[in-house]
Amino acid sequence: MTSNESSWSGSEKKVARAAYDKALQTALASILAEFKSRASAATTFSEMWDVEDYLKEQRRDLDRMFDYRYSQLTIVFATLIRRGYLDENMLSGLSEEKRQEIRRMLAWQARG
Amino acid sequence: MTSNESSWSGSEKKVARAAYDKALQTALASILAEFKSRASAATTFSEMWDVEDYLKEQRRDLDRMFDYRYSQLTIVFATLIRRGYLDENMLSGLSEEKRQEIRRMLAWQARG
């Protein structure tokens, strides 16, 4: 099992933290770009409130997606890869067991 | 007293509705302009979330300020005049009693 902090070695933790932070920056950059585009295009009051709704939804989505508990990290990484925020290569350095678990989750999510 | 719907004549209701709608458009236009300016200037994630907070606050403020119950209208108009969203001249056509009540509220708010 990979669900306890004790199952993550010191070097794995470093890899995980770097991958996580990189994915967060990527997700935020994507939201910022979309925000700038929508805000710039907005000309009506309704479109302005749509931008607020968009940001609110993205903030909630980030809160759900980015969860750095070791018990959650493999499913978090699988989700980030599927959403295009994380390159799987960033995870080389994790144990083969963890990487396989992530791939199994990806395969499982892909069915849905 | 001006607090019951029955104390508002048909022509007063028309004046009130026109003034209220005009003030709402003015307030929204002001928020839209500020939103466009802040969004356009935003370059960081933090500034992006600030725009969300700004819109959320403005939406709450509008909900509080724009209350078309006849029991609330004189205080609503006083507030809208004080905030610069309504020109007092838009209210000519209301009874002198109502206009004086609004002026008393304005004077009272101005003390604060």
The ipTM, to two decimals, is 0.87
Tell me the three state secondary structure of residue B92.
strand
pTM of the full structure: 0.88
B39 neighbors A35 (Cβ within 8 angstroms): yes
Which residues does chain B have within 8 Å of residue A50's beta carbon, measured at their own beta carbons?
Answer: none
Provide the residue range defining the domain that includes B89.
5-111
Which residues does chain B have within 8 Å of residue A28's beta carbon, measured at their own beta carbons?
Answer: 45
Cα–Cα dist A34/A32, whole Å: 5
Best of B43, B47, B49 to mutate (most A CBs within 10 Å, chain A): B49
A55 neighbors A63 (Cβ within 8 angstroms): no
Count the domains in chain A: 1
Instruction: Report the pLDDT value the prediction gives residue B112, as an integer from 0 to 100.
Output: 64
**Does the beta-carbon distance from B55 to A39 stay under 8 Å?**
no
- pLDDT one-digit tens code per residue, B18-49: 999 999 999 999 999 999 999 999 999 999 99
A91 neighbors A102 (Cβ within 8 angstroms): yes
Q: In the predicted model, is pLDDT for residue B110 greater than 60?
A: yes
List residues bridging with B92 in a β-sheet.
B94
Tell me the three state secondary structure of residue B94.
strand
Among chain B residues, the shortest Cα distance to A28 is held by B45
- The predicted model gives B74-81 an average pLDDT of 96
Residue reference for tokens 């931008």: A51
And the tokens for B21?
């709608």
Q: Compute φ and ψ for B107, nearest 5 degrees.
A: -65, -40
Mean pLDDT for back-to-back runs of 10 residues, chain A (112 residues): 78 98 98 98 98 98 96 96 96 96 90 72
Band (B5; pLDDT cuts 50, 70, 90) = confident
Instruction: Report the pLDDT value the prediction gives residue A112, as an integer from 0 to 100.
Output: 65
Provide the mean pLDDT of chain B.
94
